Amino acid sequence: MDVTDAAEAVRAFLVPAASALTIEQRVGNACIWCPTVILPGQGVSLGDADGCYPHACPPCHELQGAALAAYLDWDHHVTDCTLCRTGPCETTLTMKHEAMRARERAGWGAAYCGRCQRAFGPGETFMPHVWLGTSRVVLSLVHTGPCAVTDPGETGAQPFRTPGWRIQRTSLSRGV
């Protein structure tokens, strides 16, 4: 799938399952990320599935899209960069910084390791790890240094490549 539209990526990766939404959020009357009321015809449509029509208010959509784009950019870099195989390169450090700031602004919560489930301590190194969970693709972070879980197989997680999920930064505010 070739996606350059941030709205589509947000739809694919960030919209919670219908069961996690309130009735207002399911019918598209409230933003799925904040209490903002969405009037008919307004807000950003996040698709429809199983009678659920989630919407977001434009400010939330932009923040979530920015956090997602920064994360996916970083993930692509780490996957493709030969320098990063031996240790984080300059680019990855910049991308990490951006991704962590964007995620904080989007309210994604404390960053923790998807393998050992511990919050990252100061000075600990980590990187993105995208994998296929039971029902959806999971965008996690994992320790690159010492981790309580040493065998990646222990999570039962299938690594998942996201070819084509490159997001043009310029398209971030599009689709509104």
List of residues contacting Zn ion (CB under 5 A): 31, 33-34, 36, 57, 60, 81, 83-84, 89, 91-92, 113, 115-116, 143, 147
Closer to Zn ion by CB, 1 or 121: give it. Answer: 121
Closer to Zn ion by CB, 46 or 69: give it. Answer: 46
Measure the CA–CA gap between 21 and 19, rounded to whole angstroms.
6
Q: How far is the CB of 166 from Zn ion (least distance, A)?
A: 16
Q: How far is the CB of 172 from Zn ion (least distance, A)?
A: 16
Q: How far is the CB of 24 from Zn ion (least distance, A)?
A: 12
Closer to Zn ion by CB, 12 or 116: give it. Answer: 116
Distances (CA, A) of 2 to 6, 165, 171: 11, 6, 14
